[in-house]
Amino acid sequence: MEDSINSRKIYTVLFFGVFGISTGAIFARLAVAPPLVIAAYRVGLAGLILLPFALVKAREEMSSLSGKDWLIAVISGAFLAVHFYTWISSLELTSVAASVVLVNTIPIWAAMVSPFLGERVMPLTIAGIALSFLGAVVIGWGDLASGFGALWGDILATLGAVSLTGYLFAGRFLRKKLSLLAYVTICYGSAGVLLWIMVILTGTPFTGFSPMTWCMFPAMAIIPQILGHSSYNWALKYLSAPMVAVSLLGEPIGSSILAWIVLSEIPTGLTLAGGVLILAGIVMAARGEQKGQ
């Protein structure tokens, strides 16, 4: 009974995480600023918001980390920085649905890497990953734009998926040693520092935006970043990286619905059909994960 309660808790947190993270594409679209600056504000503000809490509750924990642990944390943060920069850049070149679909090919990359890191991937989980990816392809099939600009946007979104896969695997090792608060503060903080260094080095303007854009920066930091991404980081302590990655495939559904409401991007029949496939795949992968524990 206790295991059942724990499982429900894990998947409930992931459900709300999907909702939170689904707002990220909408907020990024509404923020009229360079992609690098949007990414820097999103992750940087999240790290600053969490820092006071971490200094009070996790100072001793963070100070006890080894040099190797800090190196892994910085590498994890670097993966996260690349993820947000490439993905947010893709939103300027292709549709929300196409970008979110491609950035959520993470399970494919995670499944390919897992055996090399000693993680067993159950057959049912593999089948769920395949079915979910099929659903993602169906959603984006009629929505992928044509032309070089759209193609480059698709490539950037895919790079965002690859880099987030690296972030998930790096986090899998650190998350076993650190509390959630300590882990996300370090990762978001290091990603924010790296992004702001790039903003300064490239001379990208980071002021003079509209009131709407200034509102989007803290909204992105709090809802999709602290609430959304942190739920996945919390789940990494209990689930494998492929399972956490496949749960991210709920994002295209949430983002498509929000894009319909906020941006008037009406979902097609393919979007609805793909959503059903994605949900079925997530259920299959979740059952496979439970059987493998």
Give the tens place of pLDDT for each residue, 108-165.
Answer: 777 677 677 666 777 887 888 788 788 777 766 765 655 566 677 878 988 998 998 8
- The string of pLDDT tens digits covering residues 187-229 is 899 999 999 999 999 999 999 999 999 999 999 999 998 888 7
Q: What is the rounded distance in angstroms from the CA atom of residue 9 to the CA atom of residue 47? A: 26
In this structure, are residues 45 and 218 in contact, taking their beta carbons and an 8 Å threshold? yes
In this structure, are residues 187 and 71 in contact, taking their beta carbons and an 8 Å threshold? no
Q: What percent of the chain has pLDDT over 70?
A: 83
- Cβ-defined contacts of 151-156 (< 8 Å, 24+): 152/93, 153/89, 153/90, 153/91, 153/92, 153/93, 153/94, 153/98, 153/99, 154/90, 154/94, 154/98, 154/99, 154/102, 156/86, 156/87, 156/89, 156/90, 156/93
pLDDT at residue 246 in the model: 67
2: pLDDT strictly greater than 50: no
Token pair for residue 106?
């993470």
In this structure, are residues 124 and 291 in contact, taking their beta carbons and an 8 Å threshold? yes
Q: Which of 105, 94, 104, 103 is nearest to 143 (CA)?
A: 94
In this structure, are residues 61 and 118 in contact, taking their beta carbons and an 8 Å threshold? no
Greater pLDDT, 82 or 179: 82
- The string of pLDDT tens digits covering residues 14-41 is 888 888 889 999 999 999 999 999 999 9
| DSSP designation for 115 | G
Q: Which of 209, 178, 233 is nearest to 40 (CA)?
A: 209
In this structure, are residues 117 and 276 in contact, taking their beta carbons and an 8 Å threshold? no
Greater pLDDT, 5 or 18: 18
User: For 125, what's the count of Cα atoms within 13 Å in the CB-facing half-sphere?
Assistant: 26
Contacts (Cβ under 8 Å, ≥6 apart) of 171: 76, 183, 187, 233, 236, 241
pLDDT at residue 268 in the model: 66
pLDDT at residue 242 in the model: 60
pLDDT at residue 197 in the model: 96
Q: What pTM, to 2 d.p., does this model score?
A: 0.81
Mean pLDDT of the chain: 82
pLDDT at residue 135 in the model: 78
